[in-house]
Each structure stands twice: as structure tokens, then as C-alpha cells.
A and B are shown apart, each in its own frame.
Chain A
Amino acid sequence: MPVEIDIAKVARLARIGLTSGELDHYAEQLQVILEHAARVQALPTEGVVPTAHPLPMTNAVRPDEVEPTLDREEVLAAAPEREGPYFRVPPYLEE
């Protein structure tokens, strides 16, 4: 059962700037993997509740209390580009 993949759209959604040759290559591979993965469709699942969690846990919350923050210099030391106390990035295209 061949699966239809708009690989260019997927790569755009994932923000991975692949070349068209790379896109073709991955599209082929994904095709094969997805056909195998699509076997899940063969199992009857009406009335089956999807598992989001293996653990039947609820209400894991925390009280509204302040905790220590990170040291700004240590944080900005890892920044690929910084300007004063800020992270700097190239201009945005989109809102």
C-alpha cells in the first residue's frame, strides 16, 4: 500500500533545509519505513482508548513557589550569538 508523502512540506514543517536530492533520498526511505509502520492499521481498534501514558498517574503539579534561577552569564556563555544580556538572532521573516 504505497503511502503519499509531500516530503518538501514535511521538511519545511520540521525546519530542516534539505536539498532536493536529499529530499528524494529521504522520501524513498520514509516510504519503505512507513509501509512497514502502516501495518498498525491492520489491527482492529474500535473502542480502544489510545495510550498517552504507560502510567495511570494524575495531578502531578507543583505549588506556586519561586525556585533558584540560572546564572545569566553561564546561560549566555552557551549562546551562539549574544548582545549584552540578550540572545541575538537574524531578522524574522514571519510574525
Chain B
Amino acid sequence: MDPADLSIAEAGTRLRAGDLRSVDLLTAVRRRASMTEAILHAYLTIDYDGAMAAAEAADAALTRGEDWGPLHGIPIALKDNLVTRGLETTCSSRILSGWIPPYSATVVERLRRGGAVVVGKTNLDEFAMGSSTENSAYGPTRNPWDPDRVPGGSSGGSAASVAVGSAFAALGSDTGGSIRQPAALCGVVGMKPTYGLVSRYGLIAFASSLDQIGPITRTVADAVTVFEAIAGHDPSDATSYRGAYPDPRADLDLGVAGLRIGVVRELSHDGIEPGVAAAFQATLDALAADGAAISELSLPSTEYALSAYYLIAPAECSANLARFDGVRYGLRLPGESVEQMMSASRRDGFGPEVTRRILLGTYALSAGYYDAFYGQAQKVRTLVIEDFKRAYAEVDVLVIPTSPTTAFAVGAKTADPLSMYLSDVCTIPSNLSGDPAISVPVGLDEAGLPVGFQVLAPALGEAMMFRVAAAVERLAGLDARPAMATSEGAA
């Protein structure tokens, strides 16, 4: 097997057995990237020199008998909204074109300390706003299963690179589904942690009370590994959780016998494509056969979750993106006054989706509109949280499709922003509640496109979530790889 297709667990075993080196893993990744990037465009920046130095250092350490952890020597990709010192970070925006940060995100430091080899920065929808990676100022990423289709978004580059093997794992960020939905559309595993378990320091903020960083991997076990490497309290993030939480790995192989699984009625029927519905049902059947008790629950406030999200997220982003003003970094257009300079730079630097959301958010926060829009949306959020709490009194996990559709065609939804927003209807509720959720690939539809199955757990319930996800993977997981991912398969 081409080393690029190994799981992290497998690669780790072979590194320690001495029959592969980190340099070999990196070389395999490089080869896979060279075969796929021309079409895929998953990466914005690849730093082979830096990666090679890290791989050599990892190998030297292993030779000395040191073991820095499960990610020691493993090539990883980072979504380009994660700040990396010395390595260009753009958020796929013109306004940060060429920006070389003077510091690194906490998660990046943690990965490096664990010996991970950073390959490069992956493409995203500009400032993480979007569901298709078509909003990137540097061109879209393509879906590895069908290059005429989108990989999902906003972490499209991360999902695509893991799907084809040009990275062993990637970090993405999830504000309204931006890890889970592209993972589903690309046929890989993507997970959003409980809000606060992973430090946001160095994640370029979109919506502060919703953003979380999480892993995109090829297996559930790998997702646990990456999550463990990045999770934990960070004093530099005041919203970082300080308490204890259950070991996410403890129950991984226990299976679902005796567990209560709830299907969210409002998000599992209307608007779900037949191919997705079929794969979803087949997975439910397999879980039931394996001993889980399946029921259907109503969470009525989730019908309003999308609307609340499209008030809360833009409001927070309108303030978070105010710092991009041409004064201290980033794009600056000339102006006779500083006000003109700012206005011109921002008009030129931000793409249409970002502009749209900043305007929307500014409006929602304005005097006179606050109570009806932002204020009301934060109350709806409370109702969503209460619905989830009530549900978890009756079931151990909730399940829904990750995305109502499989990968759609490039350009299919760009004319109508609202239709694009509807892609997030199954993922947004977990961002509002702050609870963890994971997408596991469960087969292909008739067009050969992957379907994602989503498991939702209560806050700090990663152990239960991974346990059910591992069972889903075992019972219904996707064996196939995209054609582009094989050594001969590039078009």
C-alpha cells in the first residue's frame, strides 16, 4: 500500500517498527499532491522545505529512542485560517494576501510539539464563510470524487487533501458545519468538538461563540488521536474549558448494544436527497441490528436554528473582521484620509459573501434592530440548547444526515446565497448548542458520491460520540477511495 493511504495509527506502528520513516511519509504525500493538486487545488501553500526539516528531525528523534506521541512524524495539513508563524496565512482572502504571521496558533504549537510535520495550508471559503470552498479568492477546491463538483466548505481543502492522501490528517474549523459537511461530501471523517475543548487562540475568528477547530481524518480512531493532541485548556483563550472531561478513547470499541439512539425528526426527512436518505436509513438499520434502540425525537426549535445562525454568526463576524483595515497588516489601498483608505481597502479586499455577511451583521446589531434580530436570535439559541438537553435525557446520542445532499456541481448554488445557506441545516444546531458532533462516511449514492452520517452527543460527550461513530464506521463505513487517490488514478 502506498504510504500516503495509511491511517495515522498504521503509519505510527510502522514508524516505530522502523520500516518507514517520516521522510518516507512526507515523500508519499508529496507525490500524491503532485498527482492531484493541478485538478484538486486543495492547498494554497505547501512548505516542503519546512516539512522536510521537521520530518528529518522527527526521524532523528525516533532513532534516538524518543517518542513525541501518536503524531510523531505524521504529515498534517492546516486550514489557512490557522495562524502559522513564518508561513503565509490568508484565510483565502485578498485582504490577507502575503501576510506572514509573527506567531502561531496554540493548536499548531501543540501539533509541532507532538512531532507532526506541517505540509502546508489548505484552501477554504474566504474567512470560513461558505459551504463549497467556491468563495475562496484563490480559486475553488474540487471534489476528489468528481472534479466538477464542490468538496463542500468551508474546510474544503482540508477535506479534499485527506480524501486523496495528500495529508494524513488535516485541521479544519467548524462554525456552522464547516468541518462536518465537507468531510461528508469528500467521504472522510470530520469532527467538531464541544465548544471550549480546543483552544481558539490563533484561529482567525469568524463567529467567536460558534467557531471550533477540529480534525479531518480517514478513520474515527485517527480523529480521536488528533483531537487528543489538540484538546485541553489554554490560558490564552478565555473561552477555553477548564474542567475535566471523559477520556475520548475510553469507550471506543464498546459498540452500540444497549445504547439509545434518537433521530431528529425535523432534520431527517424534508429536503433530504433520496440517496442520502437511503444511506442514512441503511446505517440506522445496521445500528439497530447491532443492538441499539432507535427512536425518533422532535426538536422543534431546530427549524429556527438556521435563521438564528444567520443573525448571530454575521453579527459576530462583522465585529471580528473590523480589524482588517489596512493599518497594521494586509491589503491597503491608497486614500486621502484614513477613513477612505479603510473603506477602499475593505471593499477591494473582501469577497461578496464576506461583504454580505458583514453588512448583514452590522445591520442586525444596529440601534433599533438589535432586539428584533440579534437579541431574539440569542434567545432562540437558548431554546435550541434546551431542546437538546431534553433530548439527551431520553437518548445517548442523536443522529441525522450530515448534509441534505451529496456534493453539488460547481456553480450550482452560487447565484442564490440562501440556497447555499440551506446546506448547513443539519450541522448548524450543534454549533448553536456547543455540543460535539462528528460525520462518518457511510457509502456512496448512485452517482458514486459519498454520504455522511452525523452523530451528535451532549456537551463533553466526546467519548460516547466516538464510540457510536466507531460502530457506524465498522458497520457501514465507506471502503472505497476516490479514483484520484490511487497512484494511477489521477485524471
Contact = CB atoms under 8 A, between A and B. Distances in A.
A94 B340 CA distance: 12
A80 interface: yes
Interface of B: 99-100, 102-103, 195-196, 209, 235, 238-242, 301, 304, 306-308, 310-311, 318, 322, 325-332, 334-344, 346-347, 350, 355-356, 358-360, 362-364, 366, 372-373, 375-383, 385, 417-418, 421, 432-435, 459
Contacts of A80: 326-332
Contact of B362 (A14, A42, A61): A14
Contacts of A81: 332
Given A54-B385, A81-B332, 20 more contacts: A11-B359, A14-B322, A14-B359, A17-B346, A18-B347, A18-B355, A22-B347, A30-B359, A30-B360, A38-B307, A39-B304, A42-B304, A52-B209, A53-B209, A54-B433, A55-B196, A55-B434, A57-B196, A80-B332, A94-B339
Given A39-B307, A78-B100, A30 B356 contact: yes
A61 B235 CA distance: 8
Contacts of A22: 347
Contacts of A77: 100
A66 interface: no
Contacts of A51: 209, 378-379, 381-382, 385
B400 to A, nearest CB: 19
A79 B330 CA distance: 8
Given A36-B310, A78-B328, A90 B382 contact: no
Interface in A38-95: 38-43, 45, 48-55, 57, 60-62, 70-71, 74-75, 77-81, 87, 89-94
A30 B357 CA distance: 9
Contact of A41 (B195, B372, B417): B372
Contacts of A14: 318, 322, 346, 358-359, 362
B338 A15 contact: no
A40 B376 contact: yes
Interface string A1-40: 0000101001101111110001000100110111011111
Given A14-B318, A37-B310, A43-B383, A89 B360 contact: no
Nearest to A48: B379
Contacts of B421: 33, 36
B96 to A, nearest CB: 10
Contact of A16 (B326, B347, B366): B347
B350 A16 contact: yes
A70 B359 CA distance: 33
Contacts of B338: 89-93
A51 B434 CA distance: 11
B337 A92 contact: yes
Contacts of B377: 37, 40
Given A15-B342, A43-B383, A60 B359 contact: no
Contact of A43 (B238, B318, B380, B433): B380
A94 to B, nearest CB: 7
A89 B337 CA distance: 8
Specify which of B301, B379, B421 lies most central, judged by the most chain A CB atoms within 10 Å of its CB: B379
